[in-house]
Structure 1
Amino acid sequence: MTARPLTFAEFYPRYLREHQQRGTRILHFIGTSLFLLCLMLGIVLQRPMLVLYGVVAAYGFAWIGHFFVEHNRPATFQHPWFSLRGDFRLYWDLVRGRERF
């Protein structure tokens, strides 16, 4: 018998449990902000390498949060697309004040 595929609605509460520490959320926020900045600059300046730098910054800050603050394994390893979507949802919720640092 095969398991039913996971939905994002089922995944996101787990994502939030794995991002409970303030330090983890701050590091994710910094990393995502750097990614968005590099993405915009890469497009405006027509420098695709800036986008790659943004990806490295985003994952670097996030993984530091998981390994050294939260002491867990990033969800990216098991659910990369849901994890990416969760990163952006958490970022947006932090910006709007729906989640706290």
Structure 2
Amino acid sequence: MPPAYQSFGEFYPYYLKEHRNRTCRRLHFVGSVLVLLVIFWSLFSQNAWWLLLMPLVGYGFAWTGHFFFEKNRPATFKHPWYSLLGDWVMFRDMLTGRIKF
């Protein structure tokens, strides 16, 4: 049974340990950028159907990083909401230089 985290602050160090591999982090970053591009394109084109691509591009890149480079199971399977938030916090931390990518 996965540990029960009482807060995102407790979860995030675990999340970062699951993303030690640089290629995995880079794939997460690419997936996050593509998700943002899909959102912007959907708004620009005024076609919400594009939003259906968000899980495919976001999780597709991230899970490829986990299965082929990190060699672990994505945290999404055990902690879906904290993991989703972790993706965006890690994305921010990469943008600001707190985490190398």
Give the TM-score normalised by the residue count of structure 1: 0.92
Runs of 5+ consecutive residues of structure 2 not aligned to the other structure: none
Runs of 5+ consecutive residues of structure 1 not aligned to the other structure: none
Query: By how many angstroms is 1:5 displaced?
Result: 5.0
Query: By how many angstroms is 1:4 displaced?
Result: 6.3
- Quote the Cα distance in structure 2 between the aligned partners of 1:9 and 1:93: 14
Q: Does 1:25 align with 2:8?
A: no
Identity %: 47
- Quote the Cα distance in structure 1 between the aligned partners of 2:29 and 2:4: 32
Per-residue CA shift, 1:10-63, capped at 9, x if unaligned?
100000000000000000000010001001111221111211112210100000
Summarize the Cα distance change of 1:5–1:96 in structure 2 as closer, same or farther, 3 Å threshold. closer
- Quote the Cα distance in structure 1 between the aligned partners of 2:52 and 2:98: 29
For residue 96 of structure 1, what is the aligned residue in structure 2?
A: 96
Partner SS for 2:16: helix
- Quote the Cα distance in structure 1 between the aligned partners of 2:4 and 2:52: 34
How many residue pairs align between the two structures?
A: 99
- Quote the Cα distance in structure 2 between the aligned partners of 1:97 and 1:50: 31
Q: CA RMSD in A?
A: 1.4
Q: Select between 62-71 and 47-56 the one with higher mean Cα deviation.
A: 47-56
